[in-house]
Copies of this chain bind each other. A is one copy, B any other.
Amino acid sequence: MSDTKDNSAETQAINERHRARMERKKAVIDSKIAEAQKEIGIIIVNTGNGKGKSSSGLGMVIRAMGHGMKVGVVQFIKGAMSTGEEKFLRRFPDEVSFHAMGEGYTWDTQDRERDTEKALLAWQQAKAFMADPGIGLVLLDELNIALKYRYLDVHMVIADLLERPDMQHVVITGRGAPAELVAIADTVTDMTVVKHAFNAGIAAQAGTEW
């Protein structure tokens, strides 16, 4: 960036165009922020086949903790492996309540009845978090998988979600979010694979994947 100390007419023109563009951008953004004033608990869904669904949910847990909120985490499906996030979050028992359904992925258990029972127990824990207005954010990790395999009924789940305290945020992750859930959610993101190291023969590694 050798041009940064350069005071040529060309550089001055570039800098002035940048300033004018940013000034217009700021006006648009300030006006949008002025319109978006409602503060209310929202439902966030992270779905799609790409990386970042659970890790983003975990990031929001950390943001909430940074603001002094209490957090509830229920891990559906995952949990057979002692993940980095579980190890870390268990260091803060006063701030984070953690429930792992355990038993690993559905293709490990291959037992629909047992998975359904475990999912219903995990949902009871989720409902307990959603009955507590002292909990500012609830992460329902991989809930979409439990819905996809019909371990839990989507209408029951939605009814319980809509009864939670007004200011409580809920983050739901997992591939294949059902349309009914997307319809009632406030923010929905599809994590789309552009490329993935796994497909180049690189293992799932500590720190990045678990």
Mark A residues whose CB is within 8 Å of B. 1, 4, 14-15, 18-19, 22-23, 25-26, 29, 32-33, 35-40, 42, 44-48, 50-60, 62-67, 69, 83-89, 106-113, 116-117, 120, 136-137, 149-153, 169, 171, 182, 185-198, 200-210
Number of copies: 2
Contact across chains for A62 and B88 when beta carbons are under 8 A apart: yes
Are the CB atoms of A60 and B189 closer together than 8 Å? no
24 contacts between A and B (CB under 8 A): A14-B112, A18-B110, A22-B106, A37-B201, A38-B202, A39-B202, A40-B202, A46-B52, A50-B190, A50-B191, A51-B187, A52-B59, A59-B59, A60-B208, A62-B62, A63-B88, A63-B206, A63-B209, A66-B86, A67-B84, A67-B206, A187-B195, A188-B194, A190-B191
